[in-house]
Amino acid sequence: MTAIALVAHDAQKDDLVAWVGRHIAVLGAATLFATGTTGKRVLEAFPTLELTPLKSGPLGGDQQIGAMIAEGRLDMLIFFVDPLTPMPHDVDVKALMRLAIVYDLPMALNGATADRLMRTG
């Protein structure tokens, strides 16, 4: 089963929830993990998904996902980034993206790329 991590900055959470809805057939067959608030929002919209919420990103959720990447437990990272808002935990975000690159994990930072990953899987 495919393991996918879902993360979204605050201004992108609505977009990520809508994206999940468009790909519910594929995501419903996957094992999902998400940072705290993102996971809560996705589960509120789609309560039947198999999704494990982790800690909020700034409170350690980014590191939890980073550890999963390093341990080879994820197949994909979907991270809807808000490029226009400064993030107080920007170093955590950069570390997470760096791990995805180091471990050659497919990573989408916007909806168009995430759509493409769903098609090529």
Q: Starting at the earlier edge strand, list the strands of the sheet with 31-34.
A: 51-53, 31-34, 3-8, 76-80, 107-108
Residue-wise pLDDT tens for the chain (121 aa)?
Answer: 799 999 999 999 999 999 999 999 999 999 999 999 999 999 999 999 999 999 998 889 999 999 999 999 999 999 999 888 776 667 878 899 999 999 999 999 999 999 999 987 5
Cβ neighbours for 40, distance < 8 A, ≥ 6 positions apart: 53
Catalytic residue among 10, 62, 92, 104: 62
62 is known as an active-site residue? yes
Nearest CA-CA partner of 77 in 112, 116, 105? 105
pTM of the entire predicted model: 0.94
